[in-house]
Amino acid sequence: MSVVQEGVVFENNPGQVSFSVPSPITALANSGDSVVVGTEQGAFLVGISELIPVPVYAELGEPAETGSVLVALTRDSGTLIAAENGIFHIYQSQLLLSPLTEALAGMKVHSLALTGTGNNEIVWAATEEGLFAVNDSLFDQVIIAEESAAPTVIGSVNNVLIAAFDARVYEIYPGSWSYAALPLLPGSVRAISANAGVAALATDAGLVARHSDGSYVRYTLSDTENALPVSAVAVDSQEQIVGLLETGLARVANNTVEGLASFDENKAYQHVAVDTLGNVWTSSEQRLIGWKTGTPVSFETSVRGLLEANCNSCHLSGVSAPYQDFSDYGVAKALANDIVQRVSTGQMPPPPIPALTV
């Protein structure tokens, strides 16, 4: 494992927005065009100007609330959430109870990961009882012979599961059900994130990146031998890694380290996520803070044409859908939260019109 010894320099802070949350934030995850905010009282989606509660759709006998959210995990078809009252997934702006709830009944999940897609998808759950692999036809406990306890945290990239037991890290290969140990890290792993073929580990001794070729690099984030601890991490769609430090946000891009934003020393930050525009979101108790680090979007250049092509074909005539002229900025702004909510959950535009992505 190669090491890059480079310090973080904070210069000008980006602009920010913030939202007040009814209860302490427990998890953050990118979710389509939005960000899921897990709290002690349920889940929210980030809208244009407000947080949108995600209600639970419950059949008879199912829990009507999630309870405290424990883990939020991005997946191709939405977001998977582990909570006190079960495992849920977001579908069309609602939380539905997952069949995984029955499989993992009585277990407290502290980390989730996915490998495979479609019918070959496997959900991995790290619980107090151990590491489990689950899908429609599989429920197995996965044993690492060298370990006696459950993984501290898990993640996945390119159909490889990464399981960390404090500073001891293993790669697990579902195709062969084999595993390999990595060199011992100088610090415990606190979080794992992956996107676009790159995985990143937040450790007590800097950021560790697993690149698409399987090679690992550790970034100390310091000019000295004393690496900086990282408590949370997120990877964006451009393979840029954002790490949460005690003093601010650091980004690793193209093997170069930079400071994104410095923190108010009187606040403690717990989580990090990156939305599809590249904006970074962090939490501090009952505040959600968005840092404007992404690519700016304007209505004229980025939004009008998209809405005209995908919405006005039905809405402008008022025949097959309620009349709206989405090329009008005022109309689009007034309906912005509804648009974000429906598009991000796949509710709009309706089939057979192709789903929108950003």
Predicted confidence (pLDDT) per residue in 210-231, tens digit: 999 999 999 999 998 899 999 9
pLDDT at 113 over 60: yes
Q: What is the mean pLDDT of residues 41-62?
A: 92
Predicted confidence at residue 344, as pLDDT, reads: 74
pLDDT at 239 over 70: yes
List of residues 6+ apart from 70 with CB closer than 8 A = 26, 27, 38, 82, 83, 84, 108, 109, 110
Residue 49: other Cβ atoms inside 10 A:
10
6 part of a folded domain = yes
Chain-centroid distance, C-alpha 272: 8
Predicted confidence at residue 295, as pLDDT, reads: 76
pLDDT at 354 over 60: yes
Residues 313 and 180 in one domain: no
**Over the stretch 290-312, which tens digit does the pLDDT of each residue have?**
999 987 767 776 778 878 887 88
pLDDT at 240 over 80: yes
pLDDT at 355 over 90: no
By mean pLDDT, which of 133-137, 239-243, 264-268 is the weakest?
264-268
Predicted confidence at residue 5, as pLDDT, reads: 93
By mean pLDDT, which of 92-96, 105-109, 281-285 is the weakest?
92-96
Domain boundary among 273, 291, 309: 291
Q: Are strands 130-135 and 122-127 parallel, antiparallel or unpaired?
A: antiparallel
351 part of a folded domain = no
Predicted confidence at residue 264, as pLDDT, reads: 84
pLDDT at 358 over 60: no
350 part of a folded domain = no
Print the domain residue range for 54: 2-291
Residues 281 and 330 in one domain: no
Residues 338 and 259 in one domain: no
Predicted confidence at residue 307, as pLDDT, reads: 81
60/84 Cα distance (integer angstroms): 19
12 part of a folded domain = yes
Residues 100 and 206 in one domain: yes
Q: What is the mean pLDDT of the chain?
A: 91
Q: What is the mean pLDDT of residues 328-357?
A: 78
Residues 115 and 62 in one domain: yes
357 part of a folded domain = no
pLDDT at 320 over 90: no
Domain boundary among 291, 316, 333: 291
The percent of residues in the chain predicted with pLDDT above 90, rounded, is: 69
Residues 239 and 311 in one domain: no
Confidence of residue 319 (pLDDT cuts 50, 70, 90): confident
Instruction: Give the total number of structural domains in the chain.
Output: 2
Q: What is the mean pLDDT of residues 98-106?
A: 93
Residues 54 and 203 in one domain: yes
272 part of a folded domain = yes
Residues 338 and 219 in one domain: no
pLDDT at 185 over 90: yes
Residues 213 and 242 in one domain: yes
Strands of 241-244's sheet in order across: 232-235, 241-244, 248-253, 256-262
Residues 77 and 158 in one domain: yes
Residues 186 and 261 in one domain: yes
30 part of a folded domain = yes
341/233 Cα distance (integer angstroms): 25
CATH classification at residue 277? 2.130.10.10
Do residues 217 and 4 make contact, with C-beta atoms less than 8 angstroms apart? yes
Domain boundary among 291, 307, 328: 291
As given in the structure block, the two tokens for residue 98 are 């997952």
HSE at residue 280, side-chain half, CA atoms within 13 A, is 26
Residues 312 and 192 in one domain: no
185 part of a folded domain = yes
Chain-centroid distance, C-alpha 258: 22
Using CB atoms within 10 A of its CB, is residue 102 exposed (0-12), middle (13-18) or buried (19+)?
exposed
Predicted confidence at residue 357, as pLDDT, reads: 58
